Amino acid sequence: MLGELLAALAWLTQFSDPLAWLVIVTFSVGAVIELRDRDLARPVSVGAWVLFAAFWLSLVYHFAFVAKSIIEGVGSAAAVPLSLYVAYLLWNGRDSLFVLTRAVALMGVVFMPFEAIIPLQKVLIELVARQTELLMQLLGVDPTVVSGAEYGHHDFRSTFYFTAENDPNHALTYTILIACTGIGSMAIFVGLIGAVRAPLRNKLRALAVSLPVIYGLNLIRNIFIGLGFGLQKFHIAPDLVMSVFSLSDPYRVSYIIADRLISQSLAVVALVFITWFVVRELPDVLVIIEDLLFLVTGDEYDLRKAFNMDAPMRADGDGRVE
């Protein structure tokens, strides 16, 4: 039974890319229609959330068993019922979720061009790789950076090449991919900030305290993973890690610990703190956060009161504060 379930999840991965485009188009159409006719936008937006659930389901196997990421695997699995729950609540009149719907549409519009347009992707990836290289050099390490084509990636100058200290013939390569540029996290905050209806100056301040911080922290993350793996700084409990993550190469232990365990865990913490700073500049974002908390806990929250802000906040479905 378990084997059949895993086989079905593996089969679904082939639909993740077309589903991503279909999701973004549907969310965007729903967001545009909602500007004029909320009743007409409701079924379109509900359909977008159902498709979003299917999209996350198509990624579960990849994250959990191919990428071997516990956090992303659990997150994608949890996103399936949560997306369906949003669809149910939106259909039944929780209009504040139109704000979250707009946020997801904006996230996709920002992220997908970098995912799909190769020249745009090349510029961003090579820029991040070059900056990562320069920062490594400041730390006293002069890595060899080569094209990723030899290692199954695009022909970008984005692969850091190391050799194992005790085995010079064993190559250790760390390639900067689009997921390593921080564009995904930046797209999230652009979506959150852009979805609410607030003064432009407030939105610009919120972007100023989020996007540069995300970009800078992402460079630190790349250095940490690249050097941690390339110099084998985290070869800890190799037998246990290899068993848990089904690894065959003991040199991969340092990568798994540096990236999948330490970096991804710290990234969650960093996003929470960045969200706090964004909220201080743009309290309107609390409408979205309150809805997310309701989805997870089933309880209503008054975060404006928790943040010690004046006057209670109530979403009227447009992301406005009354």
Of 214, 230, 313, 207, give the one whose Cα is nearest residue 272: 214
- Tokens 């692969």 found at: 159
> DSSP character for 151?
G
Element (DSSP H or E) covering residue 164: strand 157-164
CA–CA distances in Å: residue 191 to residues 122, 175, 211: 23, 27, 12
CB-CB contact of 26 with 42 (8 Å): no
Angle between helix 200-208 and 264-281 (nearest 10): 150
What is the rounded CA–CA span in Å between residue 209 and residue 201? 13
What is the rounded CA–CA span in Å between residue 58 and residue 16? 5
> Among this protein's residues, is 205 annotated catalytic?
no
List alpha helices for the chain, DSSP H.
2-12, 16-34, 38-61, 70-91, 97-116, 118-138, 183-195, 200-208, 211-230, 238-244, 252-255, 264-281, 286-297, 303-306
What is the rounded CA–CA span in Å between residue 84 and residue 79? 9
Q: What is the dihedral of CA 55, 122, 224, 175, to 10 degrees?
A: 80
The pair phi, psi for residue 299, each rounded to 5°, is -110, 150
Catalytic residue among 42, 102, 205, 221: 221
> Among this protein's residues, is 36 annotated catalytic?
no
What is the rounded CA–CA span in Å between residue 28 and residue 150? 38
Catalytic residue among 42, 102, 130, 180: 180
Q: Which long-range contacts (CB under 8 A, 24 or more apart) does 246-250 make?
A: 246/68, 247/68
Q: Which residue numbers are catalytic?
A: 180, 221
